[in-house]
Amino acid sequence: MGNWVVNHWFSVLILVIWFGLNVFLFVQAFLQYETDDKYYYTREILGSALAWARASARCLNYNSMLILVPVCRNLLSFVRGTCSFCSRTLRKPLDHNLTFHKLVAYMICLLTAVHIIAHLFNFERYSRSRRATDGSLASVLSNLSHHGKEGDAWLNPIHSPDTTLLYVTFTSIAGLTGVIITIALILMVTSAVEFIRKHYFEVFWYTHHLFIIYIIGLVIHGVGGIVRGQTKKSMEESHPHECAESFEKWDDPDHHCRHPQFEGHFPQSWEWILAPCILYAFERILRFYRSRQKVVITKVIMHPSKVLELQMKKRGFSMEVGQYVFVNCPSISFLEWHPFTLTSAPEEDFFSIHVRVAGDWTEKLIKAFEQQKLPLPRIEVDGPFGTVSEDVFQYEVAMLIGAGIGVTPFASILKSIWYKFQRADHKLKTQKIYFYWICRETGAFAWFNDLLNSLEKEMEELGKVGFLNYRLFLTGWDSNIVGHAAINFDKATDILTGLKQKTSFGRPMWDNEFSTIATAHPKSVVGVFLCGPQGLAKSLRKCCQRHSSLDPRKVQFYFNKENF
């Protein structure tokens, strides 16, 4: 636990500040509406539900202001680049941008529920006081709509005893926009669950763009001014502390108290979200401009296991290891953009991606290029964007762990190492790399074999055989494959991959792997990089904590996971 705090204290601090501001804004708004004399008469009708509704609304504005910032990828890439000299702890929050985005979304959902429930109580009390005939202050205030010559006397938005809650909801600006915002929010959140994102990415992609409706609805929501407070001039003439108890004499011309006048709130949501909306709009304009630049496809390769490799060129394209791009194919869909890790190295004169079937869009893309008929489909590329894998060369020892197609960011890293060793002047802080690749089928290894084979030979020629230690794990096999491998075990190369390193069957015993590395590098900082499923991430994170020493002078494991 102590090691986790040391590695993540800055991320924790940001979360504490974010949550603390939520609490501060909620309490501040709650006390304002619960104690301010301006809302004295409003509270006579609504009670504490007024404060609950307004406090949750203020926090909703605050979190709606933050929700777009973590997905401004150009901004994050710029910050990552300018903070390259910062410690890894200070850069850590950049790796959790989507986690923070989700936390803010969950907070918006919670606050929306509080806001809706509070307003349901408010409308019920508005309706009850409008129907009341007992001559109470609440009923008198609810009938003030008949007294305002300039139309600003009313306090209760329900102007008729026969008006239903359903009618007010769908005829008032606040009610109608509230329904639209809530429906958009429900669709965005439910379609963002991992199962939908993984198997029906297109559904997630389209519904998530309902955020535009959410933002517009949020800006308009307060235009109706349903929640009203006493005007400043009216308070000077008839202060509630002096006139509330004598409300029966408001119509008496000889009495100094008069009917109070009320005014609605000027909409405030736009003030909160204007800056991030401008920032996000600039982000989209920049991404649109870059995506419109011509992409030339120089090579198309179909690897085993239906893995498509596209090698491309684009004017002004510059990348770092481990970065990713968004790809669009207009012949499949004008609107859909999908993220792919770059598998090429910065030293190469092209950039490449590897695509496997992971949904309708990727299946159509592979089919479009499978036959390699001319002309090839047009491809648009936006990026590149930074990821945590850029930091791999900042560690003395690195563990690279890929699951299936998750090996792609490490292809870029290993290629870059190969090119660096080609140069006599190369200088690497990294002294040792442990590479693990976990696949379900043997065909998946095929497209990566050539690179690993080249690296093996290069390390031997340079006398750096110990620099790269790689292990390949096959999790899906039958008895024939195992028997064939056992019969040919004494051969110099692996029967499945043709590499010197033998393929292992099953999954790695991670505690054993971490113990071995900790023993081999007792005073090193080890960067653990994963591109794979969440379940594996959870196991590796625990291993990092278990095998890191509380003494900062001894071995430390830092966990890093790719997030798109």
User: Exposure string (b/e) for 116-155, b if CB count within 10 Å is 16 or more?
Assistant: eebbebbbebbbebbebeeeeebbbbbbbbeeeeeeebbb
- Assign residue 414 a region: left if phi > 0, alpha if psi is -120 to 50, beta otherwise? alpha
- In angstroms, the CA 283 to CA 152 distance is 43
pLDDT at 88: 63
201 part of a folded domain: no
Do 165 and 303 reside in the same domain of the chain? Answer: no
319 and 337 within one domain: yes
Distance set, CA 8 to CA 1, 30, 81, 391, 528 (Å): 11, 33, 20, 16, 15
Tell me: do 13 and 139 sit in the same domain.
Answer: yes
Which of 261, 284, 307 is a domain's end point?
284
Among 368, 385, 402, the domain-final residue is: 385
The pLDDT value given to residue 2: 47
Going by C-alpha positions, the residue among 391, 425, 383 that lies closest to residue 321 is 391
Check whether residue 267 and residue 370 sit in a common domain: no
Residues 23 and 80 in one domain: yes
Residues contacting 266, CB < 8 A, separation 6+: 222, 225
* pLDDT value for 564: 60
pLDDT at 24: 96
> Does 443 fall in a domain?
no
Residue 454 is assigned to a structural domain of this protein: no
Q: What is the pLDDT of residues 244-296, one digit of tens each?
A: 777 777 777 777 777 888 888 778 888 899 999 999 999 888 888 888 888 89
What the block records as the tokens of 451 is: 């690179």
- Domain carrying residue 277: 2-172+224-284
Distance CA 105, CA 189 (A): 8
Same domain, 305 and 239: no
Distance, CA of 338 to CA of 364 (rounded, Å): 13
User: What does the pLDDT read at residue 16?
Assistant: 92
Q: What is the DSSP letter of 424?
A: T
For the domain that residue 371 is a member of, what is the CATH number? Answer: 2.40.30.10
Q: Residue 497 has what pLDDT?
A: 57
CA distance 519 to 397: 13
Residues 113, 120 contacting (CB under 8 angstroms): no
- Inside any domain, residue 451: no
Q: Does 263 lie in the same domain as 128? A: yes
Question: What is the value of pTM for the model shown?
Answer: 0.77
- Residues 418, 403: Cα–Cα separation, whole Å: 22
The string of DSSP letters for 28-87 reads: HHHHHHHH-GGGHHHHHHHTTHHHHHHHHHHHHHHHHHHTTGGG-HHHHHHHHHHTTTS-
Residue 67: per-residue pLDDT: 92
Question: Is residue 76 within 8 Å of 97, Cβ to Cβ?
Answer: yes
For residue 254, give the amino acid letter: D
Residues 6+ apart with CB under 8 A from 292: 380
180 within some domain: no
Is residue 474 assigned to a domain? no
Nearest to 269 by CA among 13, 482, 64, 534: 64
Element (DSSP H or E) covering residue 340: strand 338-341
Q: Is 397 part of a structural domain of the chain?
A: no
What is the crossing angle of helices 173-190 and 211-221, to 10°?
150
Last residue of a domain, one of 284, 317, 333: 284
Give yes or no: residues 107 and 59 share one domain: yes
What tokens were used for 225? 């001014």
Confirm if 390 and 322 have CB atoms less than 8 A apart. Answer: yes
Domain membership flag for residue 557 = no
Contact residues for 105 (Cβ-Cβ < 8 A; gap 6+): 67, 188, 189, 192
Count of structural domains within the chain:
2
Residue 452 has a CB neighbour count (10 Å cut-off) of: 22
Question: What token pair was written down for 113?
Answer: 């529920």
- 201 and 339 in contact (C-beta within 8 Å)? no
Query: Smallest Cα–Cα separation from 276: which of 71, 547, 509?
Result: 71
Phi–psi pair at 504, nearest 5 degrees: -95, 145
Claim to verify: residue 351 and residue 245 sit in the same structural domain: no
Q: Are residues 268 and 317 in the same domain?
A: no
Rounded Cα gap, residues 96 and 81, in angstroms: 16
User: Which of these, 297, 175, 294, 164, lies nearest to 225 by C-alpha position?
Assistant: 175
Residue 470 near residue 435 (C-beta atoms within 8 A): yes
* Residues 34 and 126 both lie in one domain: yes
- Does residue 333 sit in the same domain as residue 371? yes
Per-residue pLDDT 10s for the chain (564 aa) are: 545 555 667 788 889 999 999 999 999 999 999 998 888 888 888 888 999 999 999 999 999 999 999 888 888 877 776 665 556 666 677 777 888 999 999 999 999 999 999 988 888 888 888 888 777 888 888 777 644 555 567 888 887 777 777 777 787 888 889 999 999 999 999 988 888 887 777 788 889 889 999 999 999 988 877 888 888 888 888 888 888 777 777 777 777 777 888 888 778 888 899 999 999 999 888 888 888 888 898 888 887 777 888 899 988 888 888 888 889 888 888 878 888 888 888 888 889 888 887 777 888 888 888 877 778 888 999 888 877 777 788 888 888 888 876 777 788 888 888 777 777 656 777 788 888 888 776 666 666 676 677 777 777 776 667 777 878 887 766 565 555 555 555 565 665 555 666 667 778 888 888 888 888 888 888 888 888 788 888 888 888 888 887 776 788 888 888 766
